[in-house]
Amino acid sequence: MSARYEELKGLKNLGQKYAYGDREVMLYAYGIGLGADPMDENELAFVNEGTFTPRPLKVVPTFASVAAWGSGPGEMNLNRVMVVDGERDITFHQPLPVAANITADSSVLEVYDKGKDKGVVIVHQTVLKNEKGEKLATLVASRFARGDGGFGGPNLTQPDPHKIPSRAPDKTIDITTRPDQALVYRLCGDRNPLHSDPEFAKKAGFPRPILHGMCTYGITCRGVLQTYADYDASAFRQHVARFSSPVFPGETVTMDLWKDGNTISFEAKVKSRGVTVIKNGKTVLG
């Protein structure tokens, strides 16, 4: 077995400690575009705690993706310029509190070596727990390192993604992003210059900085919240999406959604460029 494969597969980091409060919760919600209409009470519940009529602040389910930002199984020594998000799958064990001290246990689940000049896909898991040791959320991330691979890992096949229904969408919605949205979202933790530095973005092969894939992921959660979840964050059991193409800040994301019982399938595109940006999306409500 390849030493490089064994090195990556063996990465593990347990008991990482983090804390967050309402400021981080509201910043994330604003970072994915909630509150764009300052009179929309449904969205204000995620970005404003209320004053004259007090109300509990709601936490967007996918805030779990930044609640322990920086946690991970360890240093992978990858070509950072060529690394992009491949897929994200979050299982929600219970609603996230507005403020918490949490721990994160991270480990690499599998490594898919696609071959020389084809890159490598690394799948790793992070389990978030509260102070009682109870699971809050399990995050499974797929990282595509385009500049690595070809080190002789086992010939493994990745699992098939969620299948989108063949019928016409049950709902279609448009969600507009702001030209400065990546500059806001990066304050949630992801300071990758690919999303803020024009020179860095060009070196990575893009004409200008792109929106974080995880911001687009949050936008799809927002889309399900406003359509089939009635803005009830506690209804989310799972949210899965594959990243197929970047969004540029300022573009409009069009979501197609299909409802089959408690399962919401979705895909997202940018019509102005004729590209699909999210594929094989699935939300399980309960």
Q: How far apart are CA 243 and CA 247, in angstroms?
A: 10
Identified catalytic residue from 195, 212, 239, 256: 195
The contacts of residue 56 (CB under 8 Å, 6+ apart) are 49, 98
Task: Specify the amino acid at residue 266.
Answer: F
35 and 130 both lie in a single domain: yes
pLDDT 10s digits, 207-254? 999 999 999 999 999 999 999 999 999 999 999 999 999 999 999 999
Q: Which pLDDT does position 114 carry in this prediction?
A: 87
14 and 131 both lie in a single domain: yes
The contacts of residue 67 (CB under 8 Å, 6+ apart) are 18, 20, 24, 96, 100, 102, 128, 136, 137
Q: Which CATH number fits the domain that encloses residue 231?
A: 3.10.129.10
Q: What is the DSSP string of 58-83?
A: P--GGGHHHHTTT--S------GGGE
Instruction: Single out the residue in 159, 182, 208 at which a domain terminates.
Output: 159
The contacts of residue 36 (CB under 8 Å, 6+ apart) are 43, 176, 178
CA distances to 93, 138, 199 from 105, in Å: 15, 9, 35
72 and 10 both lie in a single domain: yes
Report yes or no on 164 lying in a domain. Answer: no
Instruction: Single out the residue in 137, 159, 181 at which a domain terminates.
Output: 159
Instruction: Single out the residue in 139, 159, 179 at which a domain terminates.
Output: 159
Q: For the residues 110-139, what does the mean pLDDT come to? A: 94
154 and 175 both lie in a single domain: no
Q: Determine contact, residues 122/76, Cβ cutoff 8 Å.
A: yes
Buried residues in 185-217 as b, exposed as e (16+ CB within 10 A): bbebbbebbbbbeeeebeebeeeebbbbbbbbb
Q: How far apart are CA 211 and CA 263, in angstroms?
A: 27
pLDDT at 144 over 80: yes
Report yes or no on 165 lying in a domain. Answer: no
Q: How far apart are CA 245 and CA 154, in angstroms?
A: 28
Report yes or no on 10 lying in a domain. Answer: yes
pLDDT 10s digits, 151-201? 887 878 888 999 999 999 999 999 999 999 999 999 999 999 999 999 999
pLDDT at 1 over 70: no
First to last CA, the chain: 43
Strand, helix or coil at 92? strand
Q: Which pLDDT does position 156 carry in this prediction?
A: 82
What is the total residue count of the chain? Answer: 286
Q: For the residues 106-111, what does the mean pLDDT come to? A: 96
209 and 261 both lie in a single domain: yes
Q: How far apart are CA 242 and CA 224, in angstroms?
A: 16
Report yes or no on 257 lying in a domain. Answer: yes
Q: What is the pLDDT of the chain when averaged over all its residues?
A: 95
Beta strand pairing call for 263-270 and 100-113 = unpaired
Strand, helix or coil at 220? helix
276 and 256 both lie in a single domain: yes
Question: What is the model's pTM?
Answer: 0.94
pLDDT 10s digits, 254-279? 999 999 999 999 999 999 999 999 99
Q: Indicate if 195 belongs to the active site.
A: yes
223 and 119 both lie in a single domain: no
pLDDT bracket for residue 77 (50, 70, 90) = confident
200: left (phi over 0), alpha (psi -120 to 50) or beta: alpha
145 and 180 both lie in a single domain: no
133 and 191 both lie in a single domain: no
β-bridge partners, 13: 106
The contacts of residue 112 (CB under 8 Å, 6+ apart) are 120, 121, 122, 123, 153, 156, 158
The pair of three-digit structure tokens given for residue 210, joined into one six-digit string: 């792109």
Residue percentage of the chain with pLDDT more than 90? 83
155 and 47 both lie in a single domain: yes
Q: How far apart are CA 185 and CA 180, in angstroms?
A: 9
Identified catalytic residue from 105, 190, 212, 256: 190
71 and 129 both lie in a single domain: yes
Structural domain that includes position 205:
171-285
Report yes or no on 166 lying in a domain. Answer: no
Q: Indicate if 212 belongs to the active site.
A: no
Number of structural domains found in the chain? 2
pLDDT at 81 over 80: no
Q: Which pLDDT does position 64 carry in this prediction?
A: 98
Q: What is the DSSP string of 238-272?
A: EEEEEE-SPPPTTPEEEEEEEEETTEEEEEEEETT
Report yes or no on 12 lying in a domain. Answer: yes
Report yes or no on 57 lying in a domain. Answer: yes
